[in-house]
Amino acid sequence: MNAPSTDDSIAAAPRSAFAFLHPLRVRWSEVDPQGIVFNPNYLVYFDVAATEYWRALGYAYPEGFTRDGVDTFAKVARAEFHASAKFDDALDIGVRTARLGRTSLRLLFGVFRGEDLLVDGEIVYVTADPAAQRPVPIPHRLRTAILAHERVRPEGA
């Protein structure tokens, strides 16, 4: 179920693989003239869900990161489209940590309408010194919170 981080696939997961789901309703401003969600908005959905994921871990952004003297910077962001969401659809955005490295982590996302996977994706974040913007190790508190939360043990943990 977990693809290695060097794999080009995003490794779609069933809804049940996500211990965290964030509800979201599609707003009119997010659809295009075709009446479907304009594709860049899915990265916004991922970002919103990641923010809520950190909060659910007890490591709210930015406070949790600031407290440990780090920040995160996106290194990779990808999405793969399987079906379209439309205006007023009730969606759930699943988030899980698929990989925990020394200075980076890979979050996988699934956008679901009911049990149907519409879009999946990933964002690879690097933890860094905020001033120098250079990689630093993932804080112990964050690593511990992730491991306590996830149903599927992240690769590298």
On average, the pLDDT of the chain sits at 93
| Number of domains into which the chain is organized | 1
Q: Is residue 74 part of a domain?
A: yes
Task: Note whether residue 86 is domain-resident.
Answer: yes
Taking only the tens place, the pLDDT of each residue in 3-46 is 434 344 465 678 999 999 999 999 999 999 999 999 999 999 99
Q: Does 135 fall in a domain?
A: yes
Q: Does 6 reside within a domain?
A: no
The C-alpha atoms of residue 44 and residue 74 are separated, in whole angstroms, by 13
Q: What is the pLDDT of residues 34-89, one digit of tens each?
A: 999 999 999 999 999 999 999 999 999 999 999 999 999 999 999 999 999 999 99
CATH number at residue 124: 3.10.129.10
pLDDT in tens, 11-21: 567 899 999 99
In this prediction the pTM is: 0.91
Query: What is the domain range of residue 53?
Result: 15-149
Residue type present at position 106: R
Is 100:155 a contact under the CB 8 Å cutoff? yes
Asked whether residue 131 is domain-assigned, the answer is: yes
Q: Is residue 49 part of a domain?
A: yes
